[in-house]
């Protein structure tokens, strides 16, 4: 299964209208409008002219599919009206940009049931921050394609989850311990974090907690590779 196919699989069947934020070439849009049943898609991009590029590249008959695709230009979720998208997808966007878009677009997200996130690079503190904003992971997976790791997740509003349900804040917490990519992925994230904080005087508390968590996955001592206080 390709990354695009996995993203499609993470979008709930109940989502009739999907907002694709940062749709770029629009490959996901094509899959959504040609699936069974076809979905309505709101494609959002900050760059000008990508809608015309989509129709020039795509083999979809514009007259037949244009009613299902609503291209909008704007930053993040600004073009979205609250409640019009059942599911919001952000794929191929950096962790920091995803965080900024969600923080600035809380109003537009009202009424949306799920988020599907596939950051361009392995996330570190993203889900901890989203938990503080009221969103928690309900499904996740790790995908390896052409030598690159990708983390896929579906998030729901915490208020919609059953009371007492575990609400993970770090990547991999919902995955079985024998997941074939969990340990390689944990090692990759840890290596990136150590490199990022090599010249730092101290480890930020969240990053420290994440390294302890990654060490547990890797079967290493909890404080292995932690910077001194």
Tell me how far apart the alpha carbons of residues 93 and 121 are, in angstroms, rounded to a whole number: 8
Angle at 122 between CA 32 and CA 169, to 5 degrees: 90
Helix count (H) and strand count (E) of the chain?
8, 7
pLDDT computed for residue 213 by the predictor: 84
The three-state secondary structure class of 183 is helix
List, as one string, the DSSP characters of 12-68: -TT-SEEEEET-TT-HHHHHHHHSSSPPEEEEEESSTTHHHHHHHH--S-HHHHGGG
Q: Tell me, what's the pLDDT at 156?
A: 94
pTM of this prediction exceeds 0.85:
yes
pLDDT at 209: 81
Tokens of 216: 């547990």
The token duo for 183 is: 């340990």
- DSSP bridge partners of 152: 141
Q: Which residues of the chain have pLDDT under 70?
A: 165-168, 196-205, 223, 225-229
pLDDT digits (tens, 9 = 90+) for 141-176: 999 999 999 999 999 998 888 877 666 678 888 899
Per-residue pLDDT at 190: 86
> Do the Cβ atoms of 21 and 77 come closer than 8 Å?
yes
Give residue limits of the domains in the chain: 3-160, 176-229
Please state, as a whole number, how many other Cβ atoms lie within 10 Å of the Cβ of residue 229: 7
Q: From the options 2.70.150.10, 2.40.37.10, 3.90.1300.10, 3.40.50.150, give the CATH code of 3-160.
A: 3.40.50.150
- Residue 120: which of 96, 98, 92 has the closest Cα? 92
């Amino acid at each position: 299964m390709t990354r695009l196919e996995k993203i499609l699989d993470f979008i709930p069947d109940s989502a009739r209208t999907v907002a694709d934020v940062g749709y770029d070439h629009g490959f996901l849009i094509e899959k959504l409008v040609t699936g069974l049943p076809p979905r309505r898609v709101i494609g959002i991009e900050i760059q000008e002219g990508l809608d015309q590029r989509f129709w020039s590249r795509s083999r979809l008959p514009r007259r037949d599919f244009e009613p299902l695709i609503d291209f909008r230009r704007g930053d993040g979720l600004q073009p979205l009206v609250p409640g019009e998208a059942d599911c919001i997808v952000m794929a191929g966007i950096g962790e920091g940009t995803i965080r900024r878009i969600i923080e600035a677009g809380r109003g537009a997200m009202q009424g949306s049931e799920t988020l599907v996130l596939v950051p361009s690079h392995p996330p570190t503190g993203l889900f901890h921050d989203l938990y503080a904003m009221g969103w928690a992971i309900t499904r996740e997976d790790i995908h390896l394609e052409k030598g690159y790791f990708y983390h896929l997740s579906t998030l729901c509003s915490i208020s919609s989850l059953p009371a007492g349900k575990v609400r993970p804040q770090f990547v991999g917490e919902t995955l079985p311990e024998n997941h074939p990519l969990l340990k390689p992925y944990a090692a990759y994230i840890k290596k990136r974090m150590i490199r990022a904080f090599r010249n730092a005087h101290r480890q930020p508390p969240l990053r420290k907690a994440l390294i302890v968590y990654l060490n547990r996955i890797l079967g290493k001592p909890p404080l292995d590779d932690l910077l001194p206080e």
